[in-house]
Amino acid sequence: MTSENGVRSGDAPDRRAGLSYRFTHAIVRVPGDSVLQGLRGTDRGPPSLEIFRSEHRAYIAALEEAGLRVEPLPQLEAYPDSVFVEDAALCLPEGAVVLRPGAATRLGEASVMEPVLTSYFDDVRRIDDNANIDGGDILVTDSLVLVGLSQRTNRAGFESLRRQLSAWGYEVRCIDVPPAVLHLKSDCAVLDETTVLVSESLSGHESFARFRRLVVPRGEEAAANAIRVNGRVLLSDGFPRTAELLSTAGYDLRTIATTQASKLDGGLSCMSLRFARPD
Ligand code: CIR
């Protein structure tokens, strides 16, 4: 029998309590020199390597301060976008899924991540060969896994992930990502078991109806790519009205500079794989 929050009775529900934001570990990857060639929708000039690495170190420190043990993987020059580790895998309490990123230059990142995942998880699954899905399109909430159909994630990717996660008892739904938006999580984030931070354009979608929605103020849409990590919400610098919204709602906020990742359409969620392990 499946309860409203998608946890089947008898399936050790405690293992899943707060699964969307209670973490013990994170995997990150140091930006390589090749990050200068990273993909971008609009060219706002190349990132500065020095500033990117310094912001990345501050990001790691913020994850550590939020209670995570962080494993920094070495630079991977063959893949310019490999700092954005979130797109290569999905980590859940039951196991991990090796994804199939939808950009041709990024597909190989997933197989490089596989041995890292097997060092943490006994059960590591894969997405079907004909499918594409980026981790940036997967919003894991406590009651539902929402998959964005986007420039990078196709219906076959959604169906393949749904099959894998259904076997673990999850409810998995899909949602269309607006064409101008790279990933679903460019526009939304989990804040707690029942609350999401979401852009105005997605906030009316029926898949968000079950959540309390804090809508990102107009002009600060990029702030939606925030992350809740244990007791803290991490938010990119430069979004004062969103910061005010979150603080007023009672969240313990920490802001972090992501000026260089944002030149490559990246933000806070995409630079780590966050998960909980029992040990
Ligand atoms: C890309 O276009 O794939 C990278 N430059 C940015 C990826 C950002 N990933 C994410 O938001 N999950």
Beta-bridge mates of residue 232: 229, 252
pLDDT tens-digit readout, 202-219 = 999 999 999 999 999 999
Residue 221 has pLDDT above 80, yes or no: yes
| pLDDT band, very low/low/confident/very high, at 16 (cuts 50, 70, 90) | confident
> Of the residues 151, 182, 236, which should be mutated to test ligand 1's pocket, given the most ligand atoms within 8 Å of the CB?
182
| CA–CA dist 116, 114 (Å, integer) | 5
DSSP tag of 276: -
**CB of 79 sitting under 6 A from ligand 1:** no
Residue 252 has pLDDT above 70, yes or no: yes
Q: Does domain 13-275 have CATH number 3.75.10.10?
A: yes
Contact at 8 Å (CB) between 256 and 55?
Answer: yes
pLDDT of residue 1: 34
The pLDDT of 60-88, averaged and rounded, is 98
pLDDT of residue 121: 98
pLDDT tens-digit readout, 101-151 = 999 999 999 999 999 999 999 999 999 999 999 999 999 999 999 999 999
| Beta strand extents in 141-260 (DSSP E only) | 145-149, 172-176, 188-190, 195-198, 212-215, 227-229, 232-236, 252-256
Residue 14 has pLDDT above 50, yes or no: yes
**CB of 264 sitting under 6 A from ligand 1:** yes
| CA–CA dist 44, 69 (Å, integer) | 33
pLDDT of residue 165: 98
**Which sequence positions are flagged as catalytic?**
183, 270
The pLDDT of 235-260, averaged and rounded, is 98
Percent of the chain, pLDDT > 90? 91
Q: Where is pLDDT greater, at 11 or 141?
A: 141
The pLDDT of 242-248, averaged and rounded, is 98
pLDDT of residue 139: 98
Beta-bridge mates of residue 196: 190, 213
Residue 10 has pLDDT above 80, yes or no: no
**Domain locations in the chain as residue ranges:** 13-275
- Please tell me the distance between residue 228's alpha carbon and the centre of ligand 1 in angstroms: 19
**CB of 213 sitting under 6 A from ligand 1:** no
pLDDT tens-digit readout, 179-199 = 999 999 999 999 999 999 999
**CB of 84 sitting under 6 A from ligand 1:** yes
Query: How far, in Å, are 16, 32, 51, 129 from residue 79 at the CA level?
Result: 33, 8, 19, 20
For the chain, give the mean pLDDT: 94
Q: Which amino acid is at 31?
A: P
Closest CA to 139 of 107, 183, 94, 109: 183
| CA–CA dist 249, 133 (Å, integer) | 33
The two structure tokens encoding residue 158: 């959604």
| CA–CA dist 207, 187 (Å, integer) | 14
